[in-house]
Chains A and B, each alone.
Chain A
Amino acid sequence: MTLLIGALIIGLILSLLALGVLVSFRIFSMPDITTDGSITLGASIAAVLLVQGVNPVLATLAGALGGAAAGATTGILHTQFKINSLLSGILVMTALYSVNLHVMGRSNVPLMQATTLASFGEKLGEWLVGGKTIHIFGWPVASADAAVLVLALGFTAAAGATMFAFFRTQLGTAMRATGDNPQMIRALGSNVERNIILGLALSNGFVALSGALLAQYQGFADAQMGIGMVVWGLASVIIGEALTGTRSLGLTIVGTIMGSVLFRLLVAIALRWGLNPNDLKLITALFVFAALVLPGFIEKLKRRASSAT
């Protein structure tokens, strides 16, 4: 049960990363690898501030803003200096590795003694329940875990709703159109370059928010924690699209959150069954590869089958 709840919480926290990837990859059609660096940046900024005793909400927000600045940098490299979008992301990600080490001062910052959103949630849970455990459907559950799960759920729902609302405003609609048809939105007077910079800032802000929360939940920030996270986000987005389709923005956002939770659950189960954790990134990459290639391949097989008859 603890394992299940842990997987659900991490899945929910990483769904913010997946929402960030949704913005860059699906709305702007730009696979943005800045993600790998900005999730760590969000975690390091939040961790360092928390160790100094800063309010956890402020520390989390500061982490998210740091990610937004990193995203804006990628956007500026791409639009103002005309560097290929993938390369812009690689440059910023590489630079962020050093930046993160400087922010933290070492490669790992533990948060065991600090007051974090997670420790706040745990205390809240025990206070509300009045005991260390509660029974959910007859299962004994640590009340601290249950409270953190509810908090994570609330946080994710609020973040998803905010993103949905934003993309229905005048500015948000113009940003979606930028990814859909830049020529059209330019002819309607919207600054495409500015929209891309804003979009990447938004995307990486969500990613860094995810990193800040993840550090608080797992109790440390680490310079290596971002490796391969963009692929993790892609996997979540792709699973989400399979679950809810892409017919509307709201469904896509809900699907992405569900995709992230489901993917984390699958990984937890696989690890339980004895999957070597070292193989995790390989399997994630293979999964995304298959998800990208298989639809076209199946289509081809179908066409061949129908032309043969």
Chain B
Amino acid sequence: MLTIRGIRKTFNPGTVNEVRALQGVDLTIEPGSFVIVLGMNGSGKSTLLNAVAGSFYVDDGSITLAGYNVTKWPEHKRAKLIGRVFQNPFSGTAPTMSIAENFALASKRGHARGLGWALAPNLMKPLRDRVATLKMGLEDRLDNAIGSLSGGQRQALTLLMATWLKPELLLLDEHTAALDPKSADQVIQLSDEVIQRDKLTTLMVTHSMQQAVSLGDRIIMMNRGRVLHDIRGAEKKRLRPEDLIDRFEEVRRRELLDESAAAMLNELYI
């Protein structure tokens, strides 16, 4: 269970580049819930995920995960509880190291790393079996450097690595946005399978309306660093892509209105 209480984050405070990325977000996510996070560019959805992962400390508010108050935990300590897949397929794997070594690293997420061999013999068998389920033929290439693989393959492997040890929370940050449509479909299907099978609590950021309506059991729509809509239960099930587009349109019109009002005030008074 993830509980977020009034978190705020301002980047570059007091400068011309000041960005108020999160302006008081409250959110409770039940165990096993699969939540889609939507929003326009700059709405704060990726910032929200990074705040939970610990990429930076929030200015205000608290984050509680699986009974631990993790607000002041550094990123590597939170990794004990959190599995992550990034937008950039290159971010989640160490390119010059082999597939097997990458998984060896993932198999120690949140555990002390000692002087035992990284490629433990009891890791190889389950590794071959799990990688074989991808049906990409990678199980025979476990000694190949992971950097030689395509973006889609790397993203699929990153997903397996992030969930190798069951995380309390899975964070997917537009993890198919940089892939071609076919690879994106594969990775989405794989994500859904893994999440359903292990009943993973998941936060997934996406730009795809199709993914938003077909996946998950709850949608959070963010705008200007706040949660604007929270759609769940029967309403989420009935939702069609058009409904979401309408809501986006509504947000866009409001922003336009704000801008034209600001422009008018500018003209009148300055």
In the assembled complex, the Cα of A6 lies from the Cα of B269 at a distance in Å of: 85
- Residues of A within 8 Å of B118, CB to CB, are 168-170, 172-173
- Residues of B within 8 Å of A166, CB to CB, are 115
Q: Are B114 and A170 in contact (CB under 8 A)?
A: yes
B77 within 8 A of A: yes
Q: Show the binding face of A for B, using Cβ within 8 Å.
A: 166, 168-174, 176-177, 180-181, 183-192
Q: Show the binding face of B for A, using Cβ within 8 Å.
A: 53, 74-77, 79-80, 82, 84, 86, 90-97, 101-102, 104-106, 108-111, 113-119, 161-162
For the complex with contacts A184-B91, A188-B161, A189-B111, 16 further pairs of A-B residues with Cβ separation under 8 Å are A169-B117, A170-B115, A173-B104, A174-B105, A174-B108, A176-B97, A180-B96, A181-B94, A184-B93, A184-B94, A184-B105, A188-B105, A188-B109, A189-B79, A190-B76, A190-B113
Q: Are B86 and A168 in contact (CB under 8 A)?
A: no
- Residues of B within 8 Å of A174, CB to CB, are 105, 108, 113
- Residues of B within 8 Å of A171, CB to CB, are 113-115
- The binding surface of chain B is classed by DSSP as loop
Among A170, A180, A186, contact of B75 (Cβ-Cβ < 8 Å): A186
In the assembled complex, the Cα of A192 lies from the Cα of B113 at a distance in Å of: 13
- Residues of A within 8 Å of B74, CB to CB, are 191
Q: Are B96 and A191 in contact (CB under 8 A)?
A: no
- Residues of B within 8 Å of A180, CB to CB, are 94-97
In the assembled complex, the Cα of A180 lies from the Cα of B98 at a distance in Å of: 12
- Residues of A within 8 Å of B108, CB to CB, are 170, 174, 188-189
In the assembled complex, the Cα of A272 lies from the Cα of B108 at a distance in Å of: 54
Minimum Cβ distance to chain A for residue B163 (Å): 12
**A-B interface, 3 closest residue pairs, ranked by CB to CB distance from nearest:** A189-B79, A173-B118, A180-B94
Q: Are B109 and A173 in contact (CB under 8 A)?
A: no
Q: Are A170 and B116 in contact (CB under 8 A)?
A: yes
- Residues of A within 8 Å of B90, CB to CB, are 181
Q: Are A191 and B76 in contact (CB under 8 A)?
A: yes
Among B79, B86, B95, B117, contact of A188 (Cβ-Cβ < 8 Å): B79
- Residues of A within 8 Å of B95, CB to CB, are 180-181
Can you sample 23 A-B contacts with CB below 8 Å? A168-B117, A168-B118, A169-B116, A170-B115, A170-B118, A173-B97, A173-B118, A174-B108, A176-B94, A176-B97, A177-B97, A181-B91, A181-B94, A184-B91, A184-B93, A185-B94, A187-B75, A187-B82, A187-B162, A188-B109, A189-B80, A189-B108, A190-B105
Instruction: Kindly name the residue among A169, A173, A191 whose own CB sees the greatest number of chain B CB atoms within 10 A.
Output: A173
- The binding surface of chain A is classed by DSSP as helix
- Residues of B within 8 Å of A170, CB to CB, are 104, 108, 113-118
Minimum Cβ distance to chain A for residue B135 (Å): 24
Instruction: Kindly name the residue among A166, A183, A188 whose own CB sees the greatest number of chain B CB atoms within 10 A.
Output: A188
In the assembled complex, the Cα of A171 lies from the Cα of B79 at a distance in Å of: 17
In the assembled complex, the Cα of A189 lies from the Cα of B109 at a distance in Å of: 5
- Residues of A within 8 Å of B84, CB to CB, are 187
- Residues of B within 8 Å of A183, CB to CB, are 86, 91
Q: Are B114 and A184 in contact (CB under 8 A)?
A: no
- Residues of B within 8 Å of A185, CB to CB, are 94, 105
Minimum Cβ distance to chain B for residue A30 (Å): 16
In the assembled complex, the Cα of A181 lies from the Cα of B117 at a distance in Å of: 21
Q: Are A189 and B91 in contact (CB under 8 A)?
A: no
Q: Are B105 and A177 in contact (CB under 8 A)?
A: yes
In the assembled complex, the Cα of A187 lies from the Cα of B76 at a distance in Å of: 6
- Residues of B within 8 Å of A184, CB to CB, are 91-94, 105
In the assembled complex, the Cα of A177 lies from the Cα of B93 at a distance in Å of: 9
Q: Are B76 and A189 in contact (CB under 8 A)?
A: yes
Contact A189 B115, CB 8 Å, known A176-B94, A183-B86:
no
In the assembled complex, the Cα of A250 lies from the Cα of B106 at a distance in Å of: 23
Q: Are B106 and A188 in contact (CB under 8 A)?
A: yes
In the assembled complex, the Cα of A192 lies from the Cα of B162 at a distance in Å of: 18
In the assembled complex, the Cα of A84 lies from the Cα of B97 at a distance in Å of: 26
Closest to A175 in B: B113
- Residues of B within 8 Å of A187, CB to CB, are 53, 75, 79, 82, 84, 86, 92, 162
Minimum Cβ distance to chain B for residue A199 (Å): 14
Closest to A189 in B: B79
Minimum Cβ distance to chain B for residue A202 (Å): 13
Among A172, A176, A181, A186, contact of B76 (Cβ-Cβ < 8 Å): A186
- Residues of B within 8 Å of A181, CB to CB, are 90-91, 93-95
Closest to B101 in A: A173
In the assembled complex, the Cα of A122 lies from the Cα of B84 at a distance in Å of: 58
In the assembled complex, the Cα of A171 lies from the Cα of B113 at a distance in Å of: 5
Closest to A181 in B: B94
Instruction: Kindly name the residue among A168, A176, A189 whose own CB sees the greatest number of chain B CB atoms within 10 A.
Output: A189
- Residues of A within 8 Å of B94, CB to CB, are 176-177, 180-181, 184-185
Q: Are B117 and A186 in contact (CB under 8 A)?
A: no
